[in-house]
Structure 1
């Protein structure tokens, strides 16, 4: 038996502890956002957050997740109410086939939680492990950059009316 806390909900699964997290998420918990891409940790389609750090779900065994927090794309929003990153990816039409997008969004989410105002160079470096076969990297970077830029502006908007800069 393995106990996983996924998106804030604790689940007890009758599963081999060496099973990749991706399989537990998709097959046991029916959370299908993370995708199986290469199975080798080289594409990032399976990226989820483990204690707020991006990991490849295809390589991470369930045993490594015991007592830790797992977050998937499903934790950020849904089609009716997308989260900020999801909305920006939609706006920028970052998804072509859509296969890589959940992993891209989760890796970007980790970056923005650790560094709310990353530079373009920091975004590029952080996103490097995730691949998009359709070649929408520029749209993906634009979507992430827009959310980061909005976070740079937001603190200024919170000042009291009439307050000096």
Structure 2
């Protein structure tokens, strides 16, 4: 039976999730995970790790989606809302799946868990970078989203924390209103 575990850095499941993410990202996307999310939602079936979604919700974090065109996306996205209510969807990783329907079902299970947890933490605005296909998940949960642009990166920023996004093609910057 499938179940989701919410793991913070001191959780015994957190390190296993990071290993899973790092391994798949290097293999699938030829990029590395630099950030360590504040919390990782982990989908298991029995003892088998099927997928993860990460969330950064610490208000002092420099969120990656601020480094994009047009400028000042975060402040326009928040529209006066306190930065305390902002989080970033930091990583989304699934293991091999037999069909697109299984991918979609697992993704919805993880996103529903992540959104519920974010709301409990007082998050009302969720920013993220990804492919346009991610919007389908939010639409299935009837969560309004907005596309802000395409991320731009100078040569690797000092202390870049959220992975090597610049190596990935077709990335967009989104916001979701919870």
Higher strand residue share: 2
Greater relative contact order (Cα < 8 A, sep 6+): 2
Higher helix residue share: 1
Q: TM-score, normalised by structure 2?
A: 0.31
Q: TM-score, normalised by structure 1?
A: 0.32
**Larger gyration radius, structure 1 or structure 2:** 1
